[in-house]
C-alpha cells in the first residue's frame, strides 16, 4: 500500500521546467517560500545570518521579515517575471527564525514604542560562494540602509569554509618563524615604532634596534606609515633587517618586522614582492582599508609566503553603532581569519585606550582562535595604550598564545626604548611564572620604573 500512496503524492507535486541545461525539479509546496523552519533547510548548503533589529511596535515583523530575505536574494521591491518559483526554490533566502526579546504573547504594553528582535535568515551558499564581497553583499547589502538592522553573526557551512585557505602560518607558524620551540612558548611582544609617521629612516632604524635588542619579538610599522616619499618600504626593510641580524647575533633572538605595505592596487602586491626580494620576513596590511580580499590574495600568493599582521583601521565604522553595521567579532574575528591574517590587532578592553567591552573582546578572541572549519588560528594582538601593568590581564583573558602590542608604553620609558622593551619582557616572564608584577619589580629595575611611571608604586631592591 505504501508505494501507491507515494505515487499519488508525486502526482500532486508541481513539476516545473527549468531553463535549458538544468534538470527539471519537483517543487514542494514551500520550496519557493522565503521562510522555513531551521530543521527544514540543509545547514550545509546555507549561510545562516543572524541580525539584531528594532521596529515600531505597530509593525508585524513576523509577516514583514521575508521582505529582507527576498531583497537580499532573488527579488526586489516589486515582483518581476524572471523571479519564477523555480528560481526562488534554488536561490531565495529564507527566514528561519524571528525571536522577540522580550517575547510579548498576548499584548504589547502601552509604554513600549519599539519592539526588538533577533532574526535569522538562511542564504543559499550558491548565491555567495567562497568570497567575502558577495558574503557581505548578500547578508548585509541593501538592508544595511533599512533602519535598525545589525548583522551580528554568520554561520558558514564547511563546503564554503573549505574555499578559504585562511592563515598560512597561524599561531604555530609565528612561533616557528621566531625560532621559539613549543616548550618555551610565551606571550610575544610587539612594538609599534613611534612617532606614528613623519620620521626619517635613520630614526626608525635606531628605534627598531633598541626595541628588538630590548626583547621585542615583533616590530611593526604604525598603520599611518606605508610606502612614503620620505621613508620608503624597501628602504626600511633593508635597513631594519640589518638590525635584525645584529640583534640576533647579540641576543640569539629573532625579530619579525611587519612592514606596512598598505597601498593602492596593484602596487600593494608589487611592494610585497619587493619586500621578499629585499629580505623582509613579515608584512602588515590595513586590511579593511584595502579590502579583506586583497589581504587574502597576499596570503594565498605562493611567491610571497610571509606572515601577515592585519591591522584594524576603520573597524569602528563597521561595528561601533549598537543598532547598525556588523558585530566586532565578525569584522575583527571571522572575516580577517578567513582572509589569511596570521595575527590581528584588536582593541584591548582591559585598560587600553580604545573603548571596547570585555565580552566583545572575548568573543572576538574566540573567533580568531577556536576551531573554525580547518582554518589555522589567528594570533590575537591586544593593543592600544598598553603598558606592562596590563600584561597579567591580557594573559588571564587570552592565555599565553598572544602577541602583546605596545608603542608609547615602550618608547616612553625614562631610560629609553630598549629599557621599555625589557620592562615588558620582565612583566611577561613574571606573569607566566605566576609572580605578581610588584614582586617582580623588586628585582627588575626597568619594570619597577615602568610601573612607577604608569601609577604603581614599587620598591626596587638594588641588592
**Gap between the Cα atoms of 423 and 409, Å rounded:** 10
**Gap between the Cα atoms of 122 and 41, Å rounded:** 8
Is-contact 53 117, C-beta < 8 A? yes
Placement of cell 633587517 in the chain = 241
Q: Which of 423, 395, 444 is nearest to 215 (CA)?
A: 423
Catalytic residue status for 194: yes
Q: Which of 378, 312, 367 is nearest to 343 (CA)?
A: 378
DSSP string covering 120-178, please?
EEEEEGGGT-S-HHHHHHHHTTGGGGSSSEEEEEEE--HHHHTT----SSHHHHHHHHT
**Gap between the Cα atoms of 296 and 258, Å rounded:** 16
**Sign of the four-CA dihedral 395, 398, 402, 408:** negative
Placement of cell 610599522 in the chain = 221
- Residues whose CB falls within 8 Å of the CB of residue 189, separated by 6 or more in sequence, listed in order: 215, 216, 217, 218, 403, 404, 406, 421, 424, 425, 428
Q: Catalytic one among 46, 94, 194, 413?
A: 194
Residue 210's SS3 state is helix
**Gap between the Cα atoms of 31 and 74, Å rounded:** 14
Is-contact 259 275, C-beta < 8 A? yes
**Gap between the Cα atoms of 164 and 364, Å rounded:** 19
Phi, psi of 434 (to 5 degrees): 80, 20
Is-contact 247 208, C-beta < 8 A? no
Residue 209's SS3 state is helix
Q: Catalytic one among 311, 376, 411, 413?
A: 311
Helix 201-214 and helix 417-433, axial crossing angle in degrees, nearest 10 = 30
**Gap between the Cα atoms of 240 and 222, Å rounded:** 15
Dig out the grid coordinates for 170 from the structure: 597561524
- Tell me: cis bond preceding 32? Omega within 30 of 0 counts: no
Catalytic residue status for 184: no
**Gap between the Cα atoms of 362 and 365, Å rounded:** 5
**Which residues are 325's β-sheet partners?**
150
Tell me which residues are annotated as active site. 194, 311
Amino acid at each position: 500500500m505504501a508505494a501507491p500512496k507515494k505515487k499519488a503524492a508525486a502526482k500532486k507535486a508541481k513539476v516545473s521546467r527549468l531553463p535549458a541545461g538544468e534538470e527539471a525539479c519537483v517543487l514542494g509546496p514551500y520550496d519557493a517560500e522565503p521562510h522555513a523552519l531551521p530543521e527544514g533547510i540543509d545547514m550545509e548548503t546555507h549561510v545562516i545570518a543572524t541580525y539584531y533589529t528594532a521596529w515600531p511596535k505597530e509593525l508585524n515583523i513576523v509577516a514583514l521579515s521575508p521582505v529582507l530575505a527576498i531583497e537580499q536574494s532573488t527579488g526586489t521591491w516589486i515582483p518581476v517575471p524572471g523571479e519564477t518559483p523555480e528560481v526562488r526554490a534554488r536561490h531565495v533566502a529564507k527566514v528561519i527564525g524571528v525571536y522577540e526579546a522580550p517575547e510579548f504573547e498576548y499584548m504589547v504594553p502601552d509604554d513600549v514604542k519599539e519592539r526588538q528582535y533577533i532574526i535569522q535568515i538562511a542564504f543559499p551558499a550558491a548565491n555567495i560562494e567562497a568570497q567575502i564581497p558577495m558574503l557581505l553583499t548578500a547578508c548585509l547589502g541593501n538592508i544595511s540602509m533599512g533602519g535598525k538592522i545589525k548583522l551580528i553573526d554568520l554561520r558558514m557551512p564547511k563546503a564554503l569554509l573549505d574555499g578559504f585557505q585562511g592563515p598560512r602560518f597561524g599561531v604555530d607558524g609565528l612561533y616557528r618563524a621566531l625560532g621559539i620551540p613549543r616548550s618555551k612558548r610565551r606571550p610575544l611582544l610587539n612594538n609599534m615604532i613611534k612617532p606614528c609617521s613623519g620620521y626619517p629612516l635613520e630614526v626608525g632604524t635606531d628605534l627598531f634596534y633598541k626595541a628588538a635588542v630590548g626583547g621585542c619579538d615583533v616590530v611593526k610599522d604604525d598603520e599611518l606609515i606605508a610606502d612614503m616619499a620620505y621613508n620608503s618600504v624597501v628602504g626600511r626593510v633593508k635597513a631594519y633587517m640589518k638590525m635584525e641580524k645584529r640583534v640576533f647575533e647579540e641576543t640569539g633572538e629573532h625579530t619579525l618586522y611587519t612592514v606596512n605595505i598598505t597601498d593602492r592596487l596593484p602596487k600593494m602586491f608589487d611592494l610585497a614582492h619587493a619586500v621578499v626580494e629585499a629580505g623582509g620576513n613579515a608584512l602588515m596590511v590595513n586590511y579593511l582599508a584595502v579590502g579583506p580580499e586583497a589581504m587574502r590574495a597576499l596570503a594565498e600568493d605562493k611567491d610571497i609566503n610571509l606572515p601577515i599582521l592585519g591591522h584594524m583601521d576603520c573597524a569602528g565604522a563597521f561595528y561601533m553603532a549598537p543598532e547598525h553595521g556588523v558585530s566586532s567579532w565578525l569584522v575583527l574575528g571571522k572575516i580577517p581569519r578567513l582572509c589569511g591574517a596570521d595575527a590581528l590587532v584588536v582593541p584591548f578592553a582591559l585598560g587600553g585606550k580604545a573603548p571596547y567591552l570585555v565580552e566583545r573582546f572575548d568573543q572576538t578572541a574566540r573567533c580568531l582562535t577556536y576551531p573554525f572549519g580547518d582554518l589555522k588560528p589567528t594570533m590575537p594582538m591586544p593593543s592600544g595604550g598598553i603598558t606592562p601593568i596590563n600584561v597579567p590581564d591580557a594573559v588571564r583573558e587570552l592565555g599565553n598564545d598572544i602577541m602583546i602590542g605596545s608603542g608609547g608604553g615602550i618608547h616612553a620609558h625614562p631610560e629609553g626604548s630598549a629599557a621599555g622593551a625589557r620592562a615588558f619582557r620582565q612583566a611577561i616572564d613574571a606573569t607566566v611564572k605566576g609572580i605578581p608584577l610588584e614582586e617582580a619589580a623588586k628585582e627588575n629595575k626597568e619594570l619597577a620604573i615602568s610601573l612607577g611611571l604608569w601609577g604603581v608604586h614599587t620598591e626596587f631592591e638594588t641588592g
